[in-house]
Structure 1
């Protein structure tokens, strides 16, 4: 892996920062203080090497503006162009936090409300459970408490469907728990909430993000769609776990659930607005009440944060937990070849954003933990060792499951599985035979089938971030009549059910 040497002198590092605040401010003191023999800048440099991350950008902001914004490393392995404060990154699910602030501007204008049933202003949205259709609110969708199954529906981003069709198909996604029973992370759900709000305002979902947040904040190098990445060459490449360059992931279809592109310098402007109580350059972008609703605890999540706070909660497009005596509001994200995190300490009016151009690395969590200990206080635990130990779990999210040791041989001839199967949510599942086995497309997109056991096959996709499933065929009188795709029992935690398909005669 090619690597550019870093300058480690603190004074030079601070000169390279943009928007450096006065040196007597607590945030700057924390960043320049020597802890365990290193300043914050030196810690970041070492962590970049420890986690083999090609490049990253760090932005620290306070309520009155940026404190520290710096690029580290290279945009792409094997090339010399450096990451800087203007380098564009896909910010993945941090987009949800931005989407919530965009919807918040509509709440302030009285166009929508967090707690009014969406059916009253977006009657076209229908869910599989009638009671949820009639009562679900924007708060339910942005706090992941509608009853939609976790991660299910993500495959739809691959199908090039229009927003109206994505909304229509929501009625075909069965719930796997009751409305408001528990927290279950749903990209599809955030899209549905944002789309309902945008349509009510007469906007597309990307227009909502651009017109209400990105443009008013002067985030000139940010955008609501992937195409923003390619406006010039200053963009971070996506890197796989082995350091090789991988394809970017396009999730434009789900808009604010994950499609925003931004930079360190731009994201610092948005953070400053949030930390200033919704005020930016003297303008009230969000009211206190609306900002308070966004970051408030709306649903119990379970243990989260560096200290595994048992009372962590979902806000609207964000999460919160306690670190020692301070509440932290946070959102992390991941797409192919990128990891992101934004952490705000509202009481101290300071926050940090970390973007890294590597697949499923815990580098952002490592930097965030160091920042929290510097700003809030030492935890008394070896957080860095704990975070390093979590890397294996993140890596396993994209590991391909192996068939069971007692796997049965294929139960029927290959031709018996071939045919066209129809499902309500994902459309057509087409199975064909060739000399080396079965080939499959779902919704027109190619996938791979590998024998699992008997009539069950492991279904995997070219995009490693799309979870695998177990495709099991059902037979009657020797002929396949239907198929069901369930989550693999040994896959990572993002394994999901893809539902049932009926064979077309």
Structure 2
């Protein structure tokens, strides 16, 4: 047997004290870890309102030998949105705001590109992805983290993001509106968002380890670190320092919780009597009412036997084998989460992964839910993983993949001489295309991780970011007009949508600084 597989098998045999040796979920989890070579995972299942399965496995990545346990904190990413929606629901229940209040009632400085939309957009609209903006528009103000954008910057930047559809006419997932929603909560509640989240959600629900806002990672401890695959190994990236900053993205995707927290969260959502009066029936219905139709994909239709799909307030709603399903996922670099509820049977599943786990969370969640929705046709995770891998291979064969850029070479310092200088994008701000230490460099002032060496590949120019993965590379497309401009385009058609390079429009504003600090 391969030594790595022997080690994996030995480690997986050490079953968590919370997991039954006979549980069908053990086989699902173990096979997923083996197939996808995950660094770490935590999974829990609530059935009829009770925790029936809880398993933690793998390494945190913050210190040698550190192991994941049920109290290990994970970035839950966009599963934070449901908590933000619950916070707003609490404020509505307390009479501090209404769902149909205009956003400008609480944030007079709020502006969209269209003045009419500015006037019409309501609090509810902030949570259901119907703004008319494109998929992930403006996300480069949030990610990659850390950066120097503030929530005020993000709200100001919205006015410069042009819509791609009319308001409320279609669904396009966005994050910036949740940042606005967090600021609406702060204005209505009279306290910062993070303080309100702790007081209105974490404390009454009993989420003892969840963290939001600025907090000491050194004091809290037991924190999973994100991993990516490099040279065939799981490698920690963007590891925590001694403190976690007050990130502008927190209302959209900045909360961290443990497996124990997420199990408690599911139980309270499924059974209101666990915390009587925390959310009344009217507000619970608001959260899980379909407010915005979503496209029903071919795979979802086939896998789930689904007939509808839509967005509630912080939740995706659909049917699965004739049963009502309420779910969401969360994705950050090196961190994946998934939570799904079957409310009519008080059942739910949560998965937290600290590695590149997109296929893992999809297949494992599918297998776990089918255990309840279609028990007579249950198949192992292999079948789901095989289909995902096959679909990806077919896309690659059809030419839907990033071009080979290994032959790109560093551009000379004098390259693009007539186009070098400082630039500005209306919402991302200042940038520069200037020589540094004999190389041509591109840098975004407020985003320290958007720093790149300019590469040349034939007649094209490529941005190879210093600290981002190869999949995030972008074409640099300069235009030599009276006032030069720069455009960026992703080279990988499957790039994460938060790299919204296509929405950037840089215009030259001045010369590069000389070695003596003067402009040239």
Q: Which residue of 2 aligns with 1:200?
A: 188
Tell me, yes or no, if the aligned pair for 2:227 and 2:237 is still in contact at 8 Å.
yes
Q: Which residue of 2 aligns with 1:119?
A: 104
Deviation per CA, 1:401-443: give whole Å up to 9, x if none: 43799x9x99994322210011220111111124664201113
The 3 A distance-change label for structure 1 pair 346 and 383 is same
Deviation per CA, 1:323-363: give whole Å up to 9, x if none: 10101111111112111001000111111111011124322
Structure-1 separation of matches of 2:473 and 2:165: 21
Structure-2 separation of matches of 1:392 and 1:232: 42
Q: Which residue of 1 aligns with 2:518?
A: none
1:187 aligns with 2:178: no
Aligned counterpart in structure 1 of residue 388 of structure 2, from 390, 393, 401:
390
Q: Which residue of 2 aligns with 1:22?
A: none
1:96 aligns with 2:81: yes
Q: Match of 1:93, SS?
A: helix
Tell me, yes or no, if the aligned pair for 1:163 and 1:253 is still in contact at 8 Å.
yes
In structure 2, runs of 5+ residues without a counterpart are 511-520
Q: Which residue of 2 aligns with 1:296?
A: 289
Aligned counterpart in structure 2 of residue 280 of structure 1, from 271, 274, 277:
274
The 3 A distance-change label for structure 1 pair 403 and 58 is closer
Q: Match of 2:484, SS?
A: strand
Correspondence list, 1:56-455, <5 A: 56-62=41-47, 64-76=49-61, 79-157=64-142, 158-225=146-213, 227=215, 229-241=217-229, 242-248=233-239, 252-277=247-272, 279-281=273-275, 283-303=276-296, 305=300, 306-307=303-304, 309=306, 311-378=308-375, 380=377, 384=381, 385-390=383-388, 401-402=402-403, 413-434=415-436, 437-444=439-446, 445=448, 446-448=450-452, 449-451=454-456, 454=459
CA apart distance, 1:243: 1.0
Tell me, yes or no, if the aligned pair for 2:335 and 2:357 is still in contact at 8 Å.
yes
The 3 A distance-change label for structure 1 pair 352 and 99 is same
In structure 1, runs of 5+ residues without a counterpart are 18-27, 34-38
Structure-1 separation of matches of 2:18 and 2:379: 30
Structure-2 separation of matches of 1:117 and 1:188: 17
Deviation per CA, 1:43-95: give whole Å up to 9, x if none: 21222122111211112235645333221223239943321111111111111
CA apart distance, 1:285: 1.1
The 3 A distance-change label for structure 1 pair 491 and 415 is farther
Indicate the larger mover: 150-159 or 139-148. 150-159
Structure-1 separation of matches of 2:76 and 2:417: 44
CA apart distance, 1:127: 0.9
1:475 aligns with 2:460: no
Task: Please give the root-mean-square deviation of Cα atoms over the aligned residues, in Å.
Answer: 3.5
Structure-2 separation of matches of 1:502 and 1:276: 54
Q: Match of 1:243, SS?
A: strand
Deviation per CA, 1:96-154: give whole Å up to 9, x if none: 11111111111111212223321233322111111211111222221111112211222
- Taking structure 2 as the reference length, what is the TM-score of the superposition? 0.82
- Taking structure 1 as the reference length, what is the TM-score of the superposition? 0.84
The 3 A distance-change label for structure 1 pair 389 and 416 is farther
The 3 A distance-change label for structure 1 pair 325 and 89 is same
Tell me, yes or no, if the aligned pair for 1:63 and 1:274 is still in contact at 8 Å.
no
Tell me, yes or no, if the aligned pair for 1:335 and 1:359 is still in contact at 8 Å.
no
Q: Match of 1:313, SS?
A: strand
The 3 A distance-change label for structure 1 pair 404 and 131 is farther
Tell me, yes or no, if the aligned pair for 1:223 and 1:260 is still in contact at 8 Å.
yes
Structure-2 separation of matches of 1:124 and 1:141: 15
